[in-house]
Chain A
């Protein structure tokens, strides 16, 4: 019996700035995890990852990260992915600062 598929989001870093981004259902790259497309089907996940990997001029190192549904959209399940949504914990730098101005 195969293991149940855990929901995923497609995530990567922006080529120019290195910022962590997520693929949305309408093919945008967003800084906000909650705006990502939550993928619940394994075959669809592979297709979305292929789509991401074809965008090497915009992003680097796309992969599928575990996520779960939340009240405002997908949420990370692992602490590494939670850190990636914000930035470092020692300074108010990275996305946690950038998103203040959005």
Chain B
């Protein structure tokens, strides 16, 4: 794991001191809210519906036990005993009080963490494949590049006042777990014919009110050109991006208004100017960073305990079937700890659970922890021989829910229960869907199905790329939910299609059930997933199930 250098440490401490004074001056009235607002947003502090919210960056979703324990402590000391994992691999505290913010930021700085650039029109936290460094299908660990981008973008003087926020995601694998096609810049590590490492570069993806899949602007960008090329993209966007209309300010709109050809020409032109200026310093830095992401020393030991438990313990087997993923070392497994217990709030983790996860990461996980954009926690390196003991500890701690990738593993934004921008609630919708399918005991039979719920058009809940997407809106003073089908955030990325008229709050769960029952009756067998079935069948059978009365269905 990358540890702060003296430079990082000094920078973060200076910012804490600066912002602490700004908080003090706001409290004593020297600063008005108008003056203070941009300052607090630069430091991740929002004012939400019922309270302040502090969004803390978890660079490329990577934590260790020490950081996790500090997050637990912050939750217990200055919040209500929990934190919320977000869809951009960050953590949000929902109830901090303004006078406590300096103490919280100091506690974060003590473990090399901060809330800088988690808001505002800057380059946001760079997200990465949460299985980075462990996945069997990976070319290289993308996190070293993500860290390089973090260092380059942090407080970058040219990019502190972009037309709009800017999100970068990176993966080293062919299977896209980082939703790179829905980011302003998406990077995929690839190898060319000579076996050299480089990047496929996508630009202009994004969700929100104008959902678009990113376009490939470079099939192969040499590894050494990463920073000058990304800087060229940002630089062109910074000039061309619209500042007159915030709904048209993201780079996806710039790309469509200016045209891919013209943008590419401008980017390449700027890139030629920038490339010589880097002079290799970035590559020297990258080498140091890469050393920090060296794989742990994997243990060579028998995995018989795992095999025995898998055969004899059905509870363990159910959990292993859904919550484990293939590791590049076949004695190891990637463990996903579900933060989606049916009926609970997606992504909410209590401080006690965080403490337990920190202990388990130290005991069984080479002190490595990840947060996924799907709001779960991952122990990327667990020896299979340790899995039964790990599972037993998770059961004891109440975090052994076996549902990763299933219908109750729902992404949901905070929605109108917390967010000032929301137009409807999303959390209770997620809770009720998960409970309904638990009651029906159907989720394992249904198989892989991603439901994603947003409480407004800004799409923090990624609803456009949900296999079933749900968008909560305010229709004439009443919550109303639009459903989309067939979206995907993976390498086969697609924006879901609207089914038709929306549904009232209390009609959403029955609507989802009708969709799922239509799938179960139409699929060719359990091997055909919901998404595959939708792609084969199209919208019609689902539409019929959703909107036609029972009689009409019988007649059809």
Query: Which A residues lie at the B interface, using CB under 8 A?
Result: 13, 15-20, 56-57, 60-61, 77-80, 83-84, 87-91, 93-95
Contact = CB atoms under 8 A, between A and B. Distances in A.
Contacts of A56: 29, 32-33
A84 B26 CA distance: 24
A13 B26 CA distance: 15
B416 A80 contact: yes
A90 B428 contact: yes
A61 B37 CA distance: 11
A3 B14 CA distance: 53
A96 B62 CA distance: 36
B526 interface: no
Given A18-B52, A19-B51, A78-B477, A90 B427 contact: yes
Contacts of A16: 27, 97-99
Nearest to A57: B29
Contacts of B27: 15-16, 57
Nearest to B53: A18
A55 to B, nearest CB: 10
A78 B424 CA distance: 11
Interface string B154-197: 00000000000000000000000000000000000000000000
Contacts of A60: 33, 47
30 contacts: A13-B47, A15-B26, A15-B27, A16-B27, A16-B98, A17-B51, A18-B47, A18-B51, A18-B98, A19-B50, A20-B49, A57-B28, A79-B416, A79-B478, A80-B49, A83-B416, A83-B417, A83-B425, A87-B50, A88-B418, A89-B417, A89-B425, A89-B427, A89-B428, A90-B345, A90-B431, A91-B80, A91-B345, A93-B95, A95-B50
B416 A15 contact: no
B499 interface: no
A37 B478 CA distance: 25
A93 B479 CA distance: 22
Of the listed residues A61, A77, A91, the one surrounded by the most CB atoms of chain B closer than 10 A to its CB is A91
Contacts of B353: none
B48 interface: yes
B51 A90 contact: no
Nearest to B344: A90
Given A19-B50, A90-B428, A94-B50, A79 B29 contact: no
A83 B49 contact: yes
Interface of B: 26-29, 32-33, 47-52, 80, 94-95, 97-99, 345, 348, 416-418, 425, 427-428, 431, 474, 477-479
Of the listed residues B27, B51, B416, B431, the one surrounded by the most CB atoms of chain A closer than 10 A to its CB is B51
Nearest to B425: A89
Contacts of A18: 47-48, 50-52, 97-98
Nearest to A53: B33
A88 B98 contact: no
A19 B98 CA distance: 11
Contacts of B425: 83, 89
A90 B417 contact: yes
Given A83-B416, A89-B417, A95-B50, 11 more contacts: A13-B51, A17-B98, A18-B98, A57-B27, A61-B47, A79-B474, A79-B478, A84-B50, A90-B427, A93-B50, A93-B80
Contacts of B95: 93-94
A53 to B, nearest CB: 9
A87 B425 CA distance: 12
B331 to A, nearest CB: 40
Contacts of A13: 47, 51
A79 B477 contact: yes
A58 B27 CA distance: 9
A38 to B, nearest CB: 19
Contacts of B427: 88-90
For the complex of A and B, 5 pairs with smallest distance between CB atoms: A88-B417, A18-B51, A57-B29, A94-B50, A18-B52
Nearest to A66: B477
A77 to B, nearest CB: 8
A17 B100 CA distance: 10
A67 B433 CA distance: 32
Nearest to B98: A16
A80 B431 CA distance: 20
A95 B479 CA distance: 22
Contacts of B48: 18
A16 to B, nearest CB: 5
B50 A20 contact: yes
Contacts of B26: 15
Given A16-B99, A90-B345, A93-B95, A84 B428 contact: no
A61 B47 CA distance: 9
B34 to A, nearest CB: 9
A86 B33 CA distance: 25
A15 B477 contact: no
Contacts of A83: 49, 416-417, 425
A31 B440 CA distance: 42
Contacts of A93: 50, 80, 94-95
A56 B50 CA distance: 18
Nearest to A87: B50
Contacts of B94: 93
B481 to A, nearest CB: 13
Nearest to A15: B98
A67 to B, nearest CB: 13
A66 to B, nearest CB: 9
Contacts of A15: 26-27, 33, 98
